[in-house]
Every structure is written in C-alpha cells, then in structure tokens.
Amino acid sequence: MKIPNPLTAELQQRTQHSGYLLGLVGGAIIIAAPFLPWAYGRSALDNMTVLGYPSPMQFLSLVLGVLVVGLLLGRTFYAKKKRRRRVGWVRGAKSAATGALIYLLLIIISIAVELEGLVNVEYGGWIALVGALLAFVGTKLMLADRSPTLGAATARPWVEVLAIAGVMALALFAAAFALNMDDGGSFVSFLGFVGAIIAVLITSGAMGWLSACTQRHRKVLILSAFIVAFAFPFTQNGSDANMSIATQVIIFAATAMGLNIVVGLAGLLDLGYIAFLGAGAFTAAVLSNSVFSSVNWHPPFIVVVIISGGVAATLGLIIGSPTLRVSGDYLAIVTLAFGEIFRITMNNLDGENGPNVTRGPNGIPAIPDLNLFGFDFGKTHELFGITLGRFSNYYFLLLLIIGLIILVFVRLNNSRIGRGWVAIREDEKAAEAMGVNVFGLKLFAFAGGAFLAGVAGSVKAHVDVSVTPDQYVFLESAFLLAAIVLGGMGTVLGVLVGATLLKLMPEKLRFVSEYRLLIFGLLLVLMMRFRPEGLVPSQRRQLEFHEDDEELAERIEGEIEETGVVKGGGAL
C-alpha cells in the first residue's frame, strides 16, 4: 500500500490556498476594471473612454469577473456540505478565468488595431488584463474537483421551465446584440465572451442540467424556440440589412440539415452537395414569372417547391445509383466531380453550347417576389407597430420550412431508417451482415438530403432575385460540410450553431476580408485538435472521440439512468 507523503500533501494544500487567493484577487480586479477607461479614442469598439461608466463590452468582462469570484466562493461555502449532486466549482472557475483572459486579449488587440497602436490602450485595460492573468494563474494552481454530476439533478417543474425560457430569452438577446454590431473587433470579442460562458456552463455541470431539463420538457423547449425565432425580426427595427443576413443563415442551415442526413447520420462524404441547392434554385427560377424564364409554365409556388425538391432528389438518385458502391475517398472524389459538372452544365445551357434553359453565365435575373394567398412578400407590412420589410417576410416563410425540415430529420433519425444509417456509418460490413439494406439506405439518404436542399433552393431563388451558376461552387459545399463538423455531426442544434457562425463571421469580419479564409482554416484546425466532436455533439459522438475518458463515460451513463434518454442526434 502506498503511504501518502505528508510534505507533499501540505505543499498541495498551500498551493491550493495560494491559488484560491490569487483567483479571488484577480476576479475582484476584473470586476473593478470596467469602471476605468480602457481606450484613448472613442472610435475603438463601443467607446471605452468614460471613467466610472462601463460600456456594454466592458460590462461583459465584469460578468466574467463575477463568475470567477462567485464560483470560487461557492466552492468554499458548499465544500463541507454533503450534497447528492456535485457542481464543478473549480472547473467552472478555471473556464471563467481562461475565458476572461482570452476576452480581454481580444479587446486589447482590437483597440490596438482600430486606434493603430498599443499606446492607445488606457491604464484600465492593462489593469483588467493583469487581473485576468492573476485569476488564470490562481485557478490553474488549484486542483480540479471531481467531474460534476449536476446533470442528473432534478428541480421543481416550474423552475426547470423558467430556466429553459430564460436561456431562450438570453439567446434572443445575444443574437440581436451580435447582429447589430457594426464593429468587427466588438463582434469577435463578443464571440469570445459567449464561448467563455458556454465553457463555464459545461465545466460546472450547468449545461448538463439544462440539457436534462430540455429532455423532460421538450414541448416547452420547442415552443420557446419558436417564440424566440418569431420575435427576432421585431428586435431589428425594420433593418433590411440584418434581416437579409438572417434569411441567408436560415437558408444555409436548412441546406446543411439535409447534408447532415448524408454525412452526419449515414457517414457518406459528399463534397458536391451545393449542386442540389442549385438544382432547386434553377428549377424555381425557370418556373417563375421572370421575363428571362425560358419556360411558359408558371405553377403556384407550393407546386414549384415540390418540383424543385423532386428535381434535386432525382439528381441525387442519378449520381447515387452508380457511385454508392464506392466509399470513403473515392465517394468524395465522385461527388466533388458531380458538383463541378453541375456548374459547368448550367453554364452550357445558354442557347449556344446547349438548349437555352439557364441563359448560361448570365443566369436568370429579375425573379419576382412571391405572392401567396394574396400576401406580397416584396412589400413592407406593419405588425405590432413595427415595419417588416421583404426579408422579414421571407424570414417567416423560411422559419416554417426549416421547422418542417427539422421535423423530418428528427423523425427519420429516431426511426428504423435512422438506426440503419447509424449502423452503416459505424461499420458498413457489420450492418450488411445483420441484414441492413446498405445500398438502399445509402440511396435514400442521398435522395432525401437532396430533396431538402432543393426545397431550400426554391426559396433562395426568390430571396436572391437572381440565380447564376457562379453561386454554386465547390467552396460553398466545403462551407456546408464545415458547418456540420464545426457544430456537431448528427445533431440539430449543432448544425444550427455551425451554420450561424459560418454565415455571420464573413459578414462581420469584412475589415479583414483578405484573411477570412485563413481565420476559418485556423478555426477548423483548433476544433479538430481540441473538440473534434463539434461544439454541440451527440453523446454517441462524444464517446467515439473520447473513448478513454472514464469520467465522461460515467457521467453520460448516469444521465441515461436518470433520464432514460440517449441523446444520439435527433434531440438537441
């Protein structure tokens, strides 16, 4: 039996105590620093020059400081109390201190870039950074507590419902706040703050508890999400610019949801998926009332949506039938070639190299706005005293469409078909040996995912007013795939988060447009290194990537025993 060394134990206790004091001091400095000026000029970020009056971005650092101090004090007050469920006090404090340090570094770099020099960072900014360093070092000296088991705790139903509603309200506020940011440095710093808050929730165990609450109150979650999504246009003061970004985010997310069936569930690498979105868009453009349309038949939009999805699904069957006998790298090469063939074909349907269907590189412009049941999507409307423009009108339509797509995805994932797809993804040979119709399910995944992309493309044609072949290049397929990998393959919320980030970041980082792809590449490298399962992974994927993590396995097993639910993909 190993005898503990009393000197080592005493040294650990002293280090723990020193780290605790350093963390408290650093957190207190972070709380006090926002009341000091951080920048020399008002043009940096959101005017951090006022003494005694924190700007919104300074207030966010104060929140992180409060989290550091609160979690450390919580550990002290609750350490001696025997509770059934553990909270990761030290783990959360470590995440809060690390997040505060990263957030303040982003703030200082942004001030230096926007005011052209570190000399323009005032003393308050440096004091805040020193406080963050102290908190970071102090929490690092502390031993991490045991893995939190808060996820298996239960509370009164009204408390859990109120927590879900509060989180959704905060999500609405965060989305509106981020979209209204015109300053690129503020947007990047805000992303750092949001990442720090999420990290604190995960490491402290609060995220596990919220996840369990959503499983117990799924209807409340769905209703809250719908209300938040519906209320979003009313937070934009009729801004067409912001609502244009929001509509593009939903189109991108709806398309990625279809690709999630192919990649996330069935495990088929498709690098030409953007062609299905283009097929739906070109079909809707050709059947529209545009003066440049080469077809004289203009059916109602509901019929056009079905036809667009059918055309895309047919292309999926055509490309899938001869190629799904291969897998892995070979399938990726074939789908990549298909995406390029589609773009070239659309260019050649110009009346010279082929039939005049798409007008070649010129595409089909002047696509009129939709008019459904007398409602003109191109006109502004007043609702609750707020003016809603054309992009807000399309936003509500897209909400309905992506809601139906999510419903289809969840139902398929929870069905025998979804379990067959997962079996194919895990081990195709074993699935075939167990009687799974591998080829049929692969083909259905290709056709089903393509149909959903075609539906999204039919609306995109009217939102964009014009359709050209150059909109559907390989880079767009890569971004769709990256959204799934970044968010979390096989999940609904993960795809929504990944699509939102990848659509918002290029819009808000125009001041570094030359380096956007470089930043995007570095982000993917960091994700693959530190969180390969994605930002919002399913439990199954987490265990696949961290099969040696015994604490993670025990925590997930405990959550399954408490809730009786395996969050594999269809759920949040």
pLDDT at 367 over 80: yes
Q: Are 94 and 140 in contact (CB under 8 A)?
A: yes
Query: Is residue 225 within 8 Å of 410, Cβ to Cβ?
Result: no
* Average pLDDT score over residue span 99-123: 86
Count CB atoms within 10 A of the CB of residue 246: 26
Per DSSP, 360 falls in state: G
Mean pLDDT of 301-311: 91
Distances (CA, A) of 503 to 180, 443, 476: 15, 29, 11
Burial 121-147 (b: 16+ CB within 10 A, else e): bbebbbbbbebbbbbbbbbebbeebeb
Mean pLDDT value across residues 391-416: 87
476, pLDDT greater than 90: no
Q: Are 279 and 359 in contact (CB under 8 A)?
A: no
d(CA 12, CA 65): 25
- The letter for the amino acid at 362 is N
Q: Write down the pLDDT at residue 570.
A: 40
Q: What pLDDT is recorded for position 451?
A: 92
What is the SS3 assignment for 125? Answer: helix
CA 287 to chain centre: 33
Which phi and psi (to 5°) does residue 356 adopt? Answer: -85, 90
- More confident site: 450 or 221: 450
The predicted pLDDT at position 84 comes to: 57
- CA atoms within 13 A of residue 84's CA, in its CB half-sphere: 6
- The mean pLDDT of 258-264, rounded to a whole number, is 86
Count of positions (residues) in the chain = 572
Nearest CA-CA partner of 443 in 568, 283, 261, 275 = 261
H/E run at residue 219: helix 218-231
CATH annotation of 242-377+386-503: 1.10.3470
The whole-number pLDDT of residue 366 equals 84
Coil vs helix vs strand at 400? helix
The angle, 0 to 180 degrees and rounded to 10, between the axes of the packed helices 157-179 and 206-216 is 110
Say yes or no to pLDDT of 119 above 80: yes
Distance CA 80, CA 14 (A): 19
205: phi > 0 → left, psi -120 to 50 → alpha, else beta; which? Answer: left
Tell me how far apart the alpha carbons of residues 436 and 79 are, in angstroms, rounded to a whole number: 52
State the average pLDDT over residues 362-383: 82
d(CA 90, CA 97): 10
3-state SS, residue 182: coil
Cβ proximity of 326 and 335 under 8 Å: no
Per-residue pLDDT band at 80 (split at 50, 70, 90): low
- Position 219 pLDDT exceeds 50: yes
Phi, psi of 180 (to 5 degrees): -85, 0
Phi, psi of 253 (to 5 degrees): -70, -40
Average pLDDT score, the chain? 81
Residue from 290, 309, 310 nearest 358 by CA: 290
CB atoms within 10 A of CB 38: 31
Q: Where in the chain is the domain with CATH 1.10.3470?
A: 242-377+386-503
What pLDDT digit, counting tens, does each position of 529-569 carry?
777 777 776 666 655 655 555 555 555 555 554 444 444 44
